[in-house]
Structure 1
Amino acid sequence: MVIASILKTKGNSVISLGPEGTVLDAARLLAEHRIGAALVRSLDGALLGILSERDIVRGMAAHGPGTTGLPATQFMTRDLVTVQPQTLVTEALSLMTQRRVRHLPVLDAGGGLIGMVSIGDLVKARIEAAEQETEELKHYVVSAG
């Protein structure tokens, strides 16, 4: 199974924040959409980074109560870990484990953003694939016996 199949089901909508957004803006955006990370994009749509709940917590630990008014760009992760639509789900899961990230922007061959997947999306897809394989094996055993 590849990332494109997950996006086909999930859709390619991506929640993002502009570079002028504050940490409080980002926290509200994450809470409103019940997500764990949002991309930070320039006014022309270029990817600048990703801001996760983890980034916000680390920023608050380092800067204290005044953190919420600071720019989200100050705490975002700039070194993006990305995948392409043809990336295998198993490869993406391995990448997430190695790089210790829970969200992967999906870029086309030209580097354009076409979606984002989370660890939850990938695990769900793996479970569904395993359940489907189990059902197919059960059907095979019953029909062969």
Structure 2
Amino acid sequence: MSTVAAILKHKGYQVSTVDPTALVSDVAAMLAERRIGAVLVMDRAEQMLGIVSERDIVRCLAANGARTLEMTAGQLMTRAVQVAHPDTTVDQAMQMMTAGRFRHLPVIDHDTLIGLISIGDVVKARIIQQDTVVESLTAYVAGSA
């Protein structure tokens, strides 16, 4: 069974972060420029405080209008962030994301942030798993015919 560690090995360990004082307008610009869906909000001690996603910004815009862009990441962020670990399976990560209705999952190893995976990463890994199973079964059936 594939794990979060395998996803990170393939996609890389880069994580975009912002300070809690970063303006939402700057966070939105970063998301657009880097073509990513979320950033982690970290304090100066590199401790994760929360996450700001495209969805968070859109929801706040709907509720507060243009004032949202003047808010800080610390004001807007989701504070209760679920995390995965390197040995979390792809299926477990998918279940967490589906049940929690979120699309980004920080990966922590021994209290240290090592990566961030998205639902797209998880779906891609799951498709690769399924393709491997299909190829194995096809080879088995073809060999036994």
TM-score (norm 2): 0.95
1:3 — aligned with what?
4
CA offset at residue 44 of structure 1?
2.3
| 5+ long unaligned stretches in structure 2 | none
| 5+ long unaligned stretches in structure 1 | none
2:37 — aligned with what?
36
Structure 2 counterpart SS, 1:117: strand
1:138 — aligned with what?
138
2:23 — aligned with what?
22
Aligned residue runs from structure 1 range 1-145, under 5 A: 1-108=2-109, 110-145=110-145
Higher RCO by CA contacts (8 Å cutoff, separation 6 or greater):
2
Q: Deviations over 1:84-128 (max 9, x none)?
A: 0101111111111111111100001x2110101110000000001
| RMSD, aligned α-carbons | 1.0
CA distance in 1, matches of 2:95, 2:138: 29
CA distance in 2, matches of 1:119, 1:8: 16
Structure 2 counterpart SS, 1:116: strand
Q: Bigger CA drift: 96-105 or 63-72?
A: 63-72
CA distance in 1, matches of 2:120, 2:67: 32
Q: Deviations over 1:12-42 (max 9, x none)?
A: 1101111221101110111111111110111
**What letter matches 2:17 in structure 1?**
S
**What letter matches 1:96 in structure 2?**
M
CA offset at residue 66 of structure 1?
2.1
CA offset at residue 141 of structure 1?
1.6
Structure 2 counterpart SS, 1:107: strand
**What letter matches 2:63 in structure 1?**
A
Percentage of matched positions with identical amino acids: 47
CA offset at residue 53 of structure 1?
0.7
CA distance in 1, matches of 2:26, 2:84: 27
CA distance in 2, matches of 1:77, 1:42: 14
TM-score (norm 1): 0.95
CA distance in 2, matches of 1:98, 1:129: 21
Runs of 4+ in 1 over 4 A off after TM superposition: none
